[in-house]
A and B are shown apart, each in its own frame.
Chain A
Amino acid sequence: MSNTVVKVENLVKKYKELTAVDQLNLEIKEGEVFGLLGPNGCGKTTTISCILSLLAFDEGKIEVFGKEMTPVSYDLKSMIGIVPQNMAVFDELNVYENVDCFCGMYIADQATRKQYVDEALDFVGLNDFRKFRPKKLSGGLARRLNIACGIAHKPKLIIFDEPTVAVDPQSRNKILEGIVDLNKQGATVIYTSHYMEEVEQICSRIVIMDHGKKIAEGTSDELKRTIKNTETIFIEMDEPAASLTEKMKTLANVSDVSWKEGKLVIACTGGRHNLIDIMEILQAEKVQFGRVWSELPTLNDVFLTITGKELRD
């Protein structure tokens, strides 16, 4: 059994009337890439700020590395790296100075610090931009600087709060790969995002949040298994006769058949050869059709099934 790095028990945080985090329980184990997934405003950043003891909360208990986290837990804080959602660097300092400035709040020894800062700049690929001021960096590069400032001191726990907001797909992939690397080097990672693809791609365990509450938890596969739909088949065709849809519904694994926007959507609840059965019916009925494809469920479907709304607006 690996150690618990972060333990959040019954966390409640209210902003006046609004309950931003509601009876939240989290347990993050050493070596995990833990994903906190949820739509905008569901309370991810608030949860992170509570874990970091920046925010006072109304109820609950938070432990980090087995000890209660307080604003003066400097020993715990020095083991944490934080990549905040908003850019938090100094405009007056260049790239190198920024990383050195923040790293210097953890690492006193100059030689070690220089090495760490160099490594961090290498890691995020900002070596060619050392002398640039943040304002002169592109959005994606600036994000990478934000990351370098949070990881240079080689923390054991790194918290990324939506580090890929406003980043193009290429840079985004680099960032995600980097996070996996950091994890391989031994860091425990908390990763928040409202992009389900990202979370699916890198997280070993995921908690889905909505309105401050935890609504599901598990690995990506575990989460998808919780929903009945295992496959959705799409067939491009004209609106079919009622008899055809009825016939398809009699198939053992088909739970629902509907026609919208020029395609027939067939929801399947299990089994492996649904497509073959469906094609047989289409041929028997001599129906004309265009493209045919099948989609596996996503975390969006999980979210949709639990909350009745899309994860993305």
Chain B
Amino acid sequence: MFWNTMKYEIRRNFRTKEVIIWMILFPVVLGTLYKFTLGNLGKANLYSTVPAAVVENEKDQLFHWIMDAMNNGSTTDKTDAESSIGGKPLMNLTYTDEANAIEMLKNGEVKGIIYIDPPDEKSEPDPQNQKMSEVMDMVNRMAADGSLAKYIDDENNNYVSYFMNDSGNGNFVSDTKLSLTIKSNGSDQSMLKRMSDMYVSMQQSSREMVASAFNGGAGEGFDNISKAMSSDVPYIKELELTKGDTDSFLIYMYNLIAMVGIFGSMSGLTIAQNLQANLSDQAARRSCSGMPKIKQVLAELLAFYLSHSICVIIAVTYITLALRVNFGDRLPLVYLGGILGGIMGVSFGYFVGAIGKMSYGAKSGIIMALNMTLCFMSGLMVPGIKAMIIKYIPILNEINPVAVISDSFYYLSVDADLTRFWGKMVMICIITLFFVLFGFLMTRRTKYASL
């Protein structure tokens, strides 16, 4: 009973588009981008920001998202001033029309123009994106009534803005054509060239990955993803990267892994959906079965923990093996931190999902908003907030799941002595226990006033 239920939950997870995209594709794509843009730049503060114009003949949210992530959101503005790293954007993009862009290029205001053109033939809209767009509509509505507004204003906030902008057309994998115009050759121009080449190849491989994952049918999706991933490796090797495992670069990678952990909350949200008769027909059917509720809860939690851990392991393994990022002898701890962080993320989602009888869309909106708030409070968006919180309400920083994960990785990268790291690991376990306990108290119930 128990193992069978778990087995199918894991299978379902790896056949869920959102899981593949956010837990596997996202770290792989973004990690690769980091590697190619930061990995061989040497010390992060040695490069200068390259100004470029973007002419969007076709809206491409993937581009916005990747560029935003590259240039803003993932910097590590550690407010305790322990690091002098990060902060500086790679590119300064101006989105404008063609005439103006050419003018700017002539004047030397920008080093190049990136054109985004419509794809050659319009592909069919993917019905699998439908559900996600509904969720995004919900987020949009929250934005409209102002509940999300303060975060959206913040340009540093990459994934909300990605969601916000992407909701309408809802294509995770874009089909646009990218071209680059530069005036003369120089190091800045070659940097631009590398960026846009990277983007095109990422676009291509991510499209293939999603396509193979979803056309593969039973059980094959996962294999295809890993195949697609390993087939990427030769390409990466070809470029002969110069060695450049700088601190700043490592921190980007650490933050990426932390982010995957937090994304666990999005998949954890479905746990309650799978368990509570008043939330889904499938759960109602399960509630009628002879399998005790506590067993169902445990099977569900374990299945999600395991699936998410696999995603984290894929991400970390990809980063170390394919991208050749050297975590040194801390590698086992990177795995540990990632997995525990992911388990906490999943439990967080479970806890939020168990609250009240709201639609899945509404809860997705809430979890997004909560994640944003927590990121905000942990100083990932606006430097200074964290210092203020540490000064006035220190406990908040101790129990903020996002801060706990990101701090633990930060300690892993800068501390010689791991006491602080282990302290955070213990905290992660405590927070996880809290979420699971209260989540269980809420999902334990088996009789409802209304279905």
Chain A residues within 8 Å of B, Cβ to Cβ: 15, 49, 52-56, 71-72, 74-75, 77-80, 82, 84, 86-90, 92-94, 97, 100-102, 104-106, 108, 113, 131, 149-150
| Contact across chains for B285 and A53 when beta carbons are under 8 A apart | no
A55, A84, A106, A108: the one within 8 Å of B448 (CB): A55
| Contact across chains for A92 and B16 when beta carbons are under 8 A apart | yes
| Contact across chains for A72 and B282 when beta carbons are under 8 A apart | no
| Contact across chains for B450 and A80 when beta carbons are under 8 A apart | no
| Contact across chains for B290 and A75 when beta carbons are under 8 A apart | yes
Q: A54-B451, A104-B5 are in contact. Are A80 and B288 (CB under 8 A)?
A: yes
List residues of chain B with CB within 8 A of the CB of A93. Answer: 8, 11-12, 15
B15, B284, B447: the one within 8 Å of A88 (CB): B284
**Nearest CB in chain B to that of A46: its residue:** B451
**Nearest CB in chain B to that of A97: its residue:** B8
CA distance A56 to B292 in the complex (A): 18
Q: Which 6 A-B pairs rank lowest in CB-CB distance, beginning with the nearest?
A: A78-B290, A104-B4, A71-B446, A88-B281, A105-B289, A92-B12
| Contact across chains for A90 and B4 when beta carbons are under 8 A apart | no
In the assembled complex, the CB of A135 is this many whole angstroms from the nearest CB of chain B, namely 9
CA distance A56 to B451 in the complex (A): 10
B281, B289, B292: the one within 8 Å of A84 (CB): B281
In the assembled complex, the CB of B422 is this many whole angstroms from the nearest CB of chain A, namely 38
| Contact across chains for A88 and B4 when beta carbons are under 8 A apart | no
List residues of chain B with CB within 8 A of the CB of A72. Answer: 292-293, 446
In the assembled complex, the CB of B119 is this many whole angstroms from the nearest CB of chain A, namely 26
In the assembled complex, the CB of B6 is this many whole angstroms from the nearest CB of chain A, namely 10
10 A-B pairs whose Cβ atoms sit less than 8 Å apart in the complex: A15-B450, A54-B287, A54-B451, A55-B451, A92-B16, A102-B285, A104-B8, A105-B5, A131-B218, A150-B285
Q: A92-B15, A101-B8 are in contact. Are A78 and B289 (CB under 8 A)?
A: yes
List residues of chain A with CB within 8 A of the CB of B11. Answer: 92-93, 97
B12, B288, B448: the one within 8 Å of A90 (CB): B12
**Nearest CB in chain B to that of A81: its residue:** B288
List residues of chain A with CB within 8 A of the CB of B287. Answer: 52, 54, 71
Q: CB of B99 within 8 A of chain A?
A: no
| Contact across chains for B218 and A100 when beta carbons are under 8 A apart | no
| Contact across chains for B448 and A56 when beta carbons are under 8 A apart | yes
In the assembled complex, the CB of A149 is this many whole angstroms from the nearest CB of chain B, namely 7
Q: CB of B46 within 8 A of chain A?
A: no
| Contact across chains for B282 and A88 when beta carbons are under 8 A apart | yes
Given contacts A72-B446, A77-B290, could you give 12 more A-B pairs where the C-beta distance is less than 8 Å?
A54-B287, A54-B448, A56-B448, A56-B449, A74-B290, A84-B285, A88-B281, A94-B218, A101-B4, A105-B289, A105-B290, A106-B1
| Contact across chains for A71 and B217 when beta carbons are under 8 A apart | no
List residues of chain B with CB within 8 A of the CB of A71. Answer: 287, 293, 445-447
Binary CB contact string for chain B from 268 to 306 against chain A (1 if under 8 A, 0 otherwise): 000000000100111011111111110000000000000
**Nearest CB in chain A to that of B14: its residue:** A92
* CB within 8 Å of A: which B1-36 residues: 1, 4-5, 8, 11-12, 15-16
List residues of chain A with CB within 8 A of the CB of B291. Answer: 74, 105-106
**Nearest CB in chain A to that of B449: its residue:** A56
List residues of chain B with CB within 8 A of the CB of A131. Answer: 217-218
Q: A54-B277, A101-B8, A105-B1 are in contact. Are A49 and B282 (CB under 8 A)?
A: no
**Nearest CB in chain B to that of A106: its residue:** B290
In the assembled complex, the CB of A106 is this many whole angstroms from the nearest CB of chain B, namely 5
A15, A52, A87, A104: the one within 8 Å of B281 (CB): A87
In the assembled complex, the CB of A82 is this many whole angstroms from the nearest CB of chain B, namely 5
**Nearest CB in chain A to that of B299: its residue:** A105
In the assembled complex, the CB of A134 is this many whole angstroms from the nearest CB of chain B, namely 11
CA distance A56 to B448 in the complex (A): 5
**Nearest CB in chain A to that of B16: its residue:** A92
CA distance A15 to B451 in the complex (A): 10
In the assembled complex, the CB of B51 is this many whole angstroms from the nearest CB of chain A, namely 46
